[in-house]
């Protein structure tokens, strides 16, 4: 199963992706995690990405695509993957399609988690406190929500147009939301 998880920052995508990984036995590929690892390791790309991430903007399409290509080419992704945080704009939709075509591994489904904005802001504040994520300051969160509305929301429209979008209510207990996602996956 190759699936993309869509949803605003703080929609619970990361948590649900990890639960899907454990249940489906396929890797959770998060471009945010790949970028944070590169920043932590102090690689040249990581150093380039850091300022943009700290400001809540989007890292350049080329950098993220390069990291993604490297990750999905690894052996454990042959049986499928859960993509979290990519695609983030319409150009990345085309890049993903081209990459998966090249690998002969078409996408099965895009799952969009829907959570109202008020709840998102509350959740991110909680996560900032719990995880100490440096890109979770109130200003950055506002910037990320703006970027999401402007650039990432159209990504769901793209998947709807190609008949691969399912929408899941992301409000509720973790397990409840998880069961909704499982129920929405193609068989």
144 included as an active-site residue: yes
How many C-beta neighbours within 10 Å does residue 161 have? 10
Please report which helix (H) or strand (E) contains residue 61, including its range. Answer: helix 61-72
Nearest to 107 by CA among 69, 81, 73: 81
Task: Give min distance, CB of 53 to ligand AMP, in A.
Answer: 4
Of 3, 6, 9, 112, the one binding ligand AMP by CB under 6 A: 9
180 included as an active-site residue: no
Residue 101: CB partners within 8 Å, gap ≥ 6?
none
Of 8, 64, 72, 165, the one binding ligand AMP by CB under 6 A: 64
- Cβ proximity of 6 and 170 under 8 Å: no
DSSP structural state of residue 99: H
Does residue 124 interact with ligand AMP by CB under 6 A? Answer: no
Question: Tokens 């396929």 sit at which residue?
Answer: 26
Nearer to ligand AMP, 74 or 179 (CB): 74
Stretch that binds ligand AMP, among 86-94, 107-115, 167-175, 179-187 (CB under 6 A): 86-94
Does residue 85 interact with ligand AMP by CB under 6 A? Answer: yes
Q: Count the site residues for ligand AMP by CB under 6 A.
A: 17
Q: What is the dihedral of CA 45, 131, 21, 61, to 10 degrees?
A: -30
127 included as an active-site residue: yes
Nearer to ligand AMP, 95 or 165 (CB): 95
71 included as an active-site residue: no
Point out the catalytic residue in the list 21, 133, 164, 180: 133
* Site for ligand AMP, residues 148 to 177, rule: CB under 6 A: none
Nearest to 179 by CA among 187, 116, 11, 169: 169
Give residues in contact with ligand AMP (CB under 6 A). Answer: 9, 31-32, 35, 52-53, 56-59, 64, 85-86, 88, 92, 135, 144
């Amino acid at each position: 199963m190759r699936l993309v998880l869509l949803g605003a920052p703080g929609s619970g995508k990361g948590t649900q992706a990890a639960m899907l990984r454990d249940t489906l036995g396929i890797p959770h590929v998060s471009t945010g995690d790949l970028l944070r690892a590169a920043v932590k390791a102090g690689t040249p790309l990581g150093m380039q990405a850091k300022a943009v991430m700290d400001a809540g903007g989007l890292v350049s399409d080329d950098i993220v695509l390069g990291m993604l290509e490297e990750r999905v080419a690894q052996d454990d992704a042959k049986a499928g993957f859960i993509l979290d945080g990519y695609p983030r704009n319409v150009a990345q939709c085309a890049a993903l399609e081209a990459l998966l075509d090249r690998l002969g591994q078409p996408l099965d489904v895009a799952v969009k988690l829907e959570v109202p904005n008020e709840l998102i802001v509350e959740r991110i504040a909680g996560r900032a406190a719990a995880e100490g994520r440096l890109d979770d300051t109130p200003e950055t969160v506002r910037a990320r929500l703006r970027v999401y509305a402007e650039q990432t929301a159209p990504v769901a429209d793209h998947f709807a147009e190609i008949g691969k979008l399912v929408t899941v209510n992301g409000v509720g207990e973790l397990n409840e939301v998880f069961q909704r996602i499982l129920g929405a996956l193609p068989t």
